[in-house]
Amino acid sequence: MSARDVVITGIGLVSSLGEGADTHWQKLSASGTKPVIDAERFAPYTIHPLPEIDWSLQIAKRGDQRQMETWQRLGTYVAGLALTDAGIKDNEDLCATMDMVVAAGGGERDVAVDSDILAASVQRDDFDVLLNEKLTTELRPTLFLAQLSNLLAGNISIVHKVTGSSRTFMGEEGAGVSAIETAAARIRSGQSTHMLVGGAFQTEHPDMLLGYELAGYLHRGEWKPVWQRQGAEGGGIVSGSGGAFLVLESREHAKKRGQRIYATLGPVASGRARRGKDELAAGIGKLLDTIDAPENGLLAISGASGAHKATATEKAVIDARTDIAARAFSTLTGHLKEAQFPFAVALAALAVANSAAYPPFEAGEKAFDGPLKSVLATTIGYHHFEGMALVSASD
């Protein structure tokens, strides 16, 4: 144990299951929790929708809410939950010195404007001129800001006054892995004492589905749990709206202010297996070695997306390690893209803090009654990049 250990002192979560760390623990640790899904709105795709949220609970000013679309609102809201949970919200000094890394994709485009442009294109052979005509007259000036990746962090600074530093990493699941890895490295090196790190994903927008479907990654047809989608129609991913933010601190900083510690964030490892060269299985094995995963029974919170190839590879590696019992939480939340790894780490921390395992999230997952001193969090990207972390009891 060292003063510069990285400890988790705040967790903010939102998914289709509800909001808050405790709600998620209650629902996910109970047997038989059913996923909340919507198979109609975006048929043939199923999604896990956002729960009802009273935005004003974390974003007091209506003006601030109006400046954002749902994705930024969601991220700002979840960040607020994490800050509140860590006892930092509204503490001006702590917020002003807090560093932030946000994992972000892009925000929502205006579907009506885009559809209008496409419809008008049928009558025109000068598409680029049409584009200028429509965009100059129909785009809302503020929408651009709602789409910018770095403006989720910008809004968190504005709404919650987190201003030590602000960085945004982009790039699907890998962005979430790097965000946590970098945040932990900064605390361990003494470069930062407390950090806000996480991300959000708002899937209820056709462009957010299109991002996956350009390569046919979405599952179609009847909903199935994550590990059971191989061979089913489509590409295996069922996406969800949600977000996860963590407050990470040095142990010394957390103890000095008497803050409850959920768990210690141990080693974090990341990788870029060249999947075209079939390196993924070896890459996952290497990550397990790097974080020195215990071999006497290990609960793994898996961020498996359901994407056929990546998920089958992860499953094969985990099945070969008979001591690992995996829980693929996307069965209950849907795939949360940039927020996937922060969500996995948060669920691992909750299991450690409660000294209790999650029951299987689907029929095929093994029961687990082994030690809970350390819990593994994995995220194998649906298309590229992968990461793992080991989350351990604080003392």
Residue (87 or 164) nearer to another protein, CB: 164
**Which segment (29-37, 106-114, 241-249, 309-317) binds another protein by CB under 8 A?**
106-114
- 171 touches another protein (CB under 8 A): yes
- 169 touches another protein (CB under 8 A): yes
Residue 214 CB, shortest distance to another protein, in Å, is 4
Q: How far is CA 163 from the centre of its chain?
A: 22
**Which segment (2-10, 154-162, 240-248, 341-349) binds another protein by CB under 8 A?**
154-162
Q: Single out the residue of 11, 21, 36, 104 in contact with another protein (rule: CB under 8 A).
A: 104
Cross-strand bridge partners of residue 375: 299, 391
CA 17, CA 287: separation in Å to the nearest integer?
30
**Residue 314's closest CA among 229, 377, 378, 390?**
378
- 274 touches another protein (CB under 8 A): yes
**According to CB under 8 A, which residues from 364 to 393 bind another protein?**
381, 383-387
- 62 touches another protein (CB under 8 A): no
# residues contacting another protein (CB under 8 A): 78
CB 327 within 8 A of CB 299: yes
Two tokens at 334? 């849907």
Q: Single out the residue of 49, 75, 80, 174 in contact with another protein (rule: CB under 8 A).
A: 174
Residue (24 or 335) nearer to another protein, CB: 335
Give CA separation, 314 vs 79, 108, 193, 254, 279, in Å. 30, 31, 34, 35, 12
- 194 touches another protein (CB under 8 A): no
Residues 214-253 as x/- pattern, contact with another protein by CB under 8 A = xxx-x---------------x-------------------
Residue 97 CB, shortest distance to another protein, in Å, is 10
**According to CB under 8 A, which residues from 252 to 271 bind another protein?**
270-271
Residue (175 or 348) nearer to another protein, CB: 175
Q: Single out the residue of 210, 316, 320, 356 in contact with another protein (rule: CB under 8 A).
A: 210
Longest dimension (CA), the chain: 69
Amino acid at residue number 378: T
Q: Find where tokens 């609960």 sit.
A: 299
- 306 touches another protein (CB under 8 A): no
| Strand boundaries in the chain, DSSP class E | 6-15, 18-19, 47-48, 99-104, 165-170, 194-201, 239-240, 242-250, 263-271, 298-302, 324-328, 374-380, 386-392
**According to CB under 8 A, which residues from 107 to 146 bind another protein?**
109, 111, 114-115, 118-119, 121, 126-129, 131-133, 135-136, 139, 141, 144-145
CA 15, CA 240: separation in Å to the nearest integer?
7
Residue 357 CB, shortest distance to another protein, in Å, is 29
Residue (179 or 391) nearer to another protein, CB: 179
CA 380, CA 317: separation in Å to the nearest integer?
12
Amino acid at residue number 230: Q
Residue 350 CB, shortest distance to another protein, in Å, is 26
What's the per-residue H, E or C state across 185-221?
Answer: HHHHCCCCCEEEEEEEECCCCHHHHHHHHCCCCEEEC
DSSP annotation of 130: H
CB 283 within 8 A of CB 290: no
**Residue 224's closest CA among 332, 109, 81, 111?**
332
**According to CB under 8 A, which residues from 19 to 58 bind another protein?**
45
**Which segment (20-28, 184-192, 240-248, 342-350) binds another protein by CB under 8 A?**
184-192
- 182 touches another protein (CB under 8 A): yes
Q: Single out the residue of 153, 339, 377, 380 in contact with another protein (rule: CB under 8 A).
A: 153
Residue 300 CB, shortest distance to another protein, in Å, is 20
Q: Single out the residue of 154, 199, 225, 242 in contact with another protein (rule: CB under 8 A).
A: 154
Residue (9 or 182) nearer to another protein, CB: 182
CB 239 within 8 A of CB 47: yes
DSSP annotation of 49: P
CA 254, CA 249: separation in Å to the nearest integer?
6
Residue (3 or 185) nearer to another protein, CB: 185
**Residue 106's closest CA among 15, 16, 200?**
200
